[in-house]
Amino acid sequence: MFIVIGIMFGGIVIGYLLRRVQLFQKINNLIFYTILFLLFMLGLSVGANKTIMSNLTTLGWQALLIAAAGTLGSVIMAKIVYNRFFRERGKP
């Protein structure tokens, strides 16, 4: 897990240093469709896993609760960060 996080932070640093290179500015669409493809492949993998599919009723409610809590937390923090750092001063 630390290797994955380290690679991600390495990519952030390199992306920051190379942010003015035209090639990296045009690659956003490719990244978006690559992520969609990877999510589709993850869905195929989960659908083919007999253990997950047989326990979906139990795992499904737990996963839904965790996903909802994570999404709610992200929305709340995004609102806080937006209000603190990005909203123009003087506007409600």
Distances (CA, A) of 43 to 46, 52, 57, 67: 5, 11, 17, 16
Taking only the tens place, the pLDDT of each residue in 41-78 is: 999 999 999 988 888 888 788 888 999 999 999 999 99
pLDDT in tens, 49-58: 998 888 888 8
Which has the closest alpha carbon to 66: 74, 76, 55? Answer: 74
What pLDDT digit, counting tens, does each position of 8-36 carry? 999 999 989 988 888 877 787 888 999 99
**pLDDT above 90 (res 89):** no
Contact 48, 41 (CB under 8 A): no
Record the tokens describing residue 37, joined without a space.
């493809």
Domain boundaries of the chain, sorted by first residue: 1-49, 55-92
